[in-house]
Amino acid sequence: MKILGYSLAILLLGLAVALKLSWQEKEQILPKNRSIKLITILKKEPKIYNAKQILEIGDGKIYVDLYPRYKIGDQLAVEGEIDSTGQINNPRIQKVGQKASLAGFFGNFRAKIAENINKLLPSREATLVGGAVLGVDEIEQEFRDQLVKTGTIHAVVVSGQNLMIVAGVFLSLAKIIGRRQSLVLATTASFGYALLTGFEPPVVRATLMVLASTLAIYFGREALPIWSLILAALLIVFVWPQAIFEVSFQLTFAATLGIMTLGRRLANLGPKSEARISKSETNTNVQNSKSKTVLNLNYSNFNIVSNFGFRISDLLIANAAIAISAYVFTAPIILYYFGKISLLAPMANILVVEAISPIMILGFLVAIVSLIFMPLAQLFAYFAFVPAFYFAKVVEVFAKIPVGQVNLGKGNVIVIVGFYIVVAILMIIWGREKPEP
Amino acid sequence: MNHKLLLTSALFFVCFGLLLIFQSQNLGQLRIIACDVGQGDGILLISSSGKQILVDGGPGTKIADCLSQKMPFWDRTVEMVVLTHPERDHLEGLLEVLARYKVKMIMTTGVVNDTELFRAWQKAIGDEGAKIYTPKAGDRLVIDSISGRTLSMDVLWPTSEKLAIWKIVPPTELNESSIVLKVNLGPSVFDPEAQTRRADGFCAYLVGDIPRETLEKVLTGKCQVLKISHHGSKTGTNQAILDSVDPKIAIIQVGKNSFGQPSKEVIDLLESKGVNIYRNDLNSIIEISTNGKNLNVKSERKINR
């Protein structure tokens, strides 16, 4: 109960922050289809894609050449043509001033880290390491296409999975530094991570959801994580009603829910058979083996290792379960919005998922150390290169496989609902055979 | 237990990584890599001892990906960067290279271009602190000399007179100021005896966007490889040039464009001379490797013309 209290306290804290943010989040609506002249302050770090800088101003997007580079806090006088979708191509821009702000401070901090990582690693590996640590602003087009095609782009943005790893790493320290401390650390780290990645509302929402469910799964019982996830989602919808229509929110919710439900079932499959074997052959305590499976999905491989000894099969199964369940639960949403989904994604994700935790952990080390002493950061970067290189190679190989994408059900609600019903029925059928721990 | 897992997986990954990396390296050869930078130029030379010289950076940032693929991951230094002339399709990517790599020397004519991009470049080379080298026709740069084979670069254009004039009156056409280089791999130039065995040498012309009228005047003999001037535009190539170079391989650095490049005239001319044509828009990355005697061309996509 005490733990539930903590979770609630954290949610309320998050809510307070969220409320404050939503207060500031008055989106500027630009006029459309006319020539436009405006003076504005950049609130978001420019994205770099396809040899263009993309500056987001309210609901509009300005496309300009790569140089000069702009950054958060720059006050710009913009003069150009805006089209019906809010795009302004190559307007005349003059930098008229600069405004210091907290967002600007974190923006520069982020930019500095990204710059350092780019200096330490080859471009694709730098994209992966930088993306896992900060979320990417800059991504080379060919690599982006490959990531999209293999359904692995979530690794370089602030995804639920990445947030779970951050929370999981700190929560797994509970045995060493105590529960309460690990809880505080995990919360701080998650919000710190959200802050680093720009603290945009979608990130804050994802942080809240993931934190709520990860904390619950770690400290609570079977049913609690799903309830706290739903509770978090409800609170978020209460604060940002428009979020419910946003793809990012739906994806995070679906992926987290999938990992909580289907993922845990799947993760139980492997060790269950193992438990049978151990009962007949080595007579290991089955009870012990089961409690291990409950904790299997703490999203920190280290946890399994430190608590229950090294079993590589468990680790692989747990990771694969995360990848598959997230894929299954997000597939309908992706189909609904984009009308196509990669058939390669589950396999590619099962293979790359092993590399994500090491990339993140080493990535954080590189990021922090690079601010202090570059040569040492270079050493860590060499270590981070290995999993990142593996990730990049898997993506490259899978992107070459000529298996296409499924085109289905764009904008079709029946397909989506049907898909979820089928998944639910399957889970009920298969769930019944097995006594729940 | 914890440590065992960490060490085991680390060892596994390290071995796996090293294996692939060492396989993909071929030291001991000169490699000329025409990067697929889209509509623009970007050529990476890697000497047999592993020194890198980058001639132009193309538009956008694609050049960084090319460098990452072709350079070993631990090497964060590019020995020399050459900017043939300060136009976007040759310059923009070099800024990304300066941001990501340590650059020791920069070869540039100093000809200016009144653009934001050029001002960003000037600031970047100031910050980089690299040695700036202004090339003059007649200069020879010796890159390295290993087991009796010397890799050198001859500067063929611009002349010092032209440079002096451009300092006062900038060239009306920036292409006119494009640096022209001849890359030689062969017996040591300081060994007179070896000089007579000239036949087994290798050379390549890297000509930027130089107009054909200038190019035909500065060429110094035959070469196996010719980088076709100005993305295959007819302003950069003619019969006389092909006659005096007599190339086996022509590289056309071209991407999707609205200028009609490469021009049909140039393609026809090359085909009539039986030259093997490699284009970045059809062949993606093109890599020529040579030990001075044998020549090997590797390109990613198949030619589907």
Tens digit of pLDDT for each residue in B81-110? 999 999 999 999 999 999 999 999 999 999
- Rounded to an integer, the average pLDDT of A54-73 is 87
* Closest approach of A66 to chain B, Cα-based (Å): 7
A201 C-beta neighbours (distance < 10 Å), count: 20
pLDDT of residue A8: 67
Pick from A65, A121, A390: CB nearest B16:
A390
pLDDT of residue A7: 66
Q: Give this prediction's pTM.
A: 0.81
Q: Which residues of A touch B69 (CB under 8 A)?
A: 122
A320 falls in which pLDDT band (50, 70, 90)? confident
Q: What pLDDT digit, counting tens, does each position of B264-297 carry?
A: 999 999 999 999 999 999 999 999 999 888 889 9
* Closest approach of B150 to chain A, Cα-based (Å): 29
Query: Percent of chain A at pLDDT above 70?
Result: 77
pLDDT of residue B250: 96
Q: Which residues of B touch A382 (CB under 8 A)?
A: 73-74
* Residue A290 scores a pLDDT above 50: no
- Rounded to an integer, the average pLDDT of A357-378 is 91
Give the helix/strand (H/E) hosting A244: none
3-state secondary structure of A437: coil
Q: Which residue has the tokens 């000809």?
A: B111
* Residue B50 scores a pLDDT above 90: no
| Mean residue pLDDT across chain A | 77
Question: How deeply is A94 buried, as exposed, middle or buried, from its count of CB atoms within 10 A (0-12, 13-18, 19+)?
Answer: exposed
CB contact under 8 A, B2 and A387: no
On whether ipTM exceeds 0.90, the answer is no
CB contact under 8 A, B13 and A120: no
- Rounded to an integer, the average pLDDT of B126-135 is 94
B75 touches chain A (CB under 8 A): no
CB contact under 8 A, B100 and A389: no
Could you tell me which residues come within 8 angstroms of residue A9 by beta carbon, excluding any fewer than 6 positions away? none
Query: Percent of chain A at pLDDT above 90?
Result: 13
Distances (CA, A) of B192 to A290, A322, B151, B195, B246: 81, 69, 16, 5, 26
Rounded Cα distance, B9 and B81, in Å: 39
Pick from A118, A123, A385: CB nearest B65:
A123
Give the helix/strand (H/E) hosting A218: helix A201-219
Could you tell me which residues come within 8 angstroms of residue B114 by beta carbon, excluding any fewer than 6 positions away? none
Q: Which residue has the tokens 């040759």?
A: B90
Pick from B1, B59, B68: CB nearest A122:
B68
* Residue A3 scores a pLDDT above 70: no
Long-range pairs of B170-177 with CB within 8 A, sequence gap ≥ 24: B170/B111, B170/B112, B171/B111, B173/B211, B174/B85, B174/B86, B174/B87, B174/B111, B174/B113, B174/B209, B175/B85, B175/B87, B175/B208, B175/B209, B175/B210, B175/B211, B175/B230, B175/B235, B176/B210, B176/B211, B176/B214, B177/B85, B177/B109, B177/B111
- Domain spans in chain B, listed from the N-terminal domain onward: 26-296
For an interface test with A, which of B12, B61, B96 has the most A Cβ atoms less than 10 Å from its Cβ?
B61
- Rounded to an integer, the average pLDDT of B245-266 is 94
pLDDT of residue B57: 95
Q: Specify the higher pLDDT residue, A303 or A384.
A: A384
- Fold adopted by B26-296: Metallo-beta-lactamase; Chain A (3.60.15)
* Residue A161 scores a pLDDT above 90: no
CB contact under 8 A, B62 and A383: no
By CA distance, what is A114's nearest residue in B?
B100
Could you tell me which residues come within 8 angstroms of residue A177 by beta carbon, excluding any fewer than 6 positions away? A185
Question: What's the one-letter identity of residue A12?
Answer: L
